[in-house]
Chain A
Amino acid sequence: MRALWTPALGAAGFIGLWWLAVLLRLADPVLLPSPLETFNDTAHAFTHGPLLHDLWRTVTRTVLAFLVACAIGVPLGLLLGAKENVYRAVEFVIDFFRSTPASALFPLFLILFGVGEGTKIAVAAFGAALVILFNAAYGVMNARRTRLLAARVMGARPLRVLFDVLLWEAMPQILVGMRSGVSLALVIVVVAEMFIGSTDGLGQRVIIAQSLFESALMYGVIFVAGALGYLLNLAFLLAEKRFVHWAGK
């Protein structure tokens, strides 16, 4: 019970402070609408406006980018991790692009994929794939040597060892990579929706609300995007608990 109470109190405190700031007129009401107004405008945008569609578009793009990232990052990470000297050779390149802000790659991806859905998904997938690859490779490289030897003594051939031991050994780290990857994909998708020829998505809705001075809606969309990021993170945390029950034991 306490575990639910404490964060609820924190959230209530945040809204209370916000309301207090509105009542004390600390800022121009156009810039800082009340929580109630924000809620009403956002709810209206959900029921009568395009917000539900925007949320759906952002979720779809993020999930697609994440799936592409997993399809590339997991197998490549496993293979590179299993061949540590190869990984050491490409480590610098991976680290370099992992550290490059994905937004700086927008123009390049626009040339490669044109203005459209493909670009947004490709940039987000690129960013997330590197994070997932890096984590999968480290998961494999940090596999307990004793378990690999045990599998070998029991007659497992290299490919067997990969699927029966290395994949499982790397699983906790792969899920950590997926959690970071999906968060990064969401960030990139929202930025891409703002700046790469979009007509929908949460990023586009924030920009439109801002330019039309619909500040209550703008705050509302920001909170929706925040809630989406939080829930994605939470879903992966729960998946980690459920699927890698042995981690750290």
Chain B
Amino acid sequence: MSEISPRQAALSVRGLKKAFGGVAVYDGFSLDVKRGDILAVFGPNGCGKSTLINMAAGLLPVDAGHILYDGQTVDEVRIGYVFQNYREALFPWRRSAENIRYPLRRMGLRPAEIEARLERLAADFRVRFDLNRYPYELSGGQQQLVSIMRALAVEPEVLFLDEPFSALDYETTLSLRSLLQQVLKARRTTTILVSHDLEESIVLADRILMLTRRPTTVADDVAVALPWPREAAMLSAPEFVAIKARCLETFTRAVAGA
């Protein structure tokens, strides 16, 4: 594992413990995520990928250990979270733009600043649909894009993405992926992506954390040193295929080794 000094780490996990019904999911788990990095967390079903980001996001209590953002707890920093199910995460009684403004209002920003951020996000993501529509009037891809914009609006310390594309069709996934990597890299947003799609993890991440079955440990920590931006052509590049083969081998071993 490459050493990350505490000053470079946007997120540090130390001695994390979590059990459900007496079964340990995490038993002394540690992790550092470098500022500006996109970390993909990949592992077998039930290994606690979502549990990890839910604890980091403060949505689930930890049994022991701590999770710090540059020394601060999650309550002291701003984070962004994109849920898998955009239909149940957006507020359908508010227009899409109002959904994006919501966390900014909670921060107490001035209206002018709120509008400026909204416009910048719309420009960054090249939004061509009407943000004054209600979420249910938009396509699935547009709804998830609104969710992502809402999460990024607060300029989060860390952005959490919980299988953000799994409910979308392949074409939409490809275009959203390409937009997202451009914006995240331009903004240097530290991101943790939970995905069950290996290809997606490699395309989007600077680093892939391969997890084992419970109790969860790190099976492999893979640096993805592919150049940005990563377009569809990269999926067949030899470097990409080599990383995929290594991950697949680790994954098979991690699942079989249970």
Contacts and interface: CB of A to CB of B under 8 A. Distances in A.
Interface string A132-172: 00000000000010110110111110001000110010010
A153 B79 contact: yes
A246 interface: yes
A168 B92 CA distance: 9
B85 A154 contact: no
B83 A146 contact: yes
Given A147-B88, A249-B136, A155 B107 contact: yes
A245 interface: yes
Contacts of B81: 149-150, 153
A146 B106 contact: no
Interface residues on A, range: 10 to 19
B83 A246 contact: no
A165 B85 contact: no
A249 B133 CA distance: 14
Contacts of B57: 153
Interface residues of B, number: 23
Contacts of B103: 154-155
Contacts of A152: 58-59
A155 B78 contact: yes
Interface in B75-94: 78-81, 83, 85, 88-93
Q: Which of A153, A164, A246, A249 has the most CB of B within 10 A?
A: A153
Contacts of B80: 153
A146 B85 CA distance: 8
B12 to A, nearest CB: 20
B134 interface: yes
Interface of B: 57-59, 78-81, 83, 85, 88-93, 102-103, 106-107, 134, 136, 150, 154
Closest 10 CB pairs of A and B: A246-B92, A154-B103, A249-B136, A146-B88, A155-B106, A153-B81, A144-B88, A168-B93, A150-B89, A146-B89
22 contacts: A144-B88, A146-B85, A146-B88, A146-B89, A147-B91, A149-B81, A149-B83, A150-B81, A150-B90, A152-B58, A152-B59, A153-B58, A153-B79, A154-B154, A155-B78, A155-B103, A164-B91, A171-B93, A244-B93, A245-B134, A246-B134, A246-B136
Given A150-B89, A152-B59, 9 more contacts: A146-B83, A146-B88, A147-B88, A149-B59, A150-B90, A152-B58, A155-B78, A155-B103, A171-B93
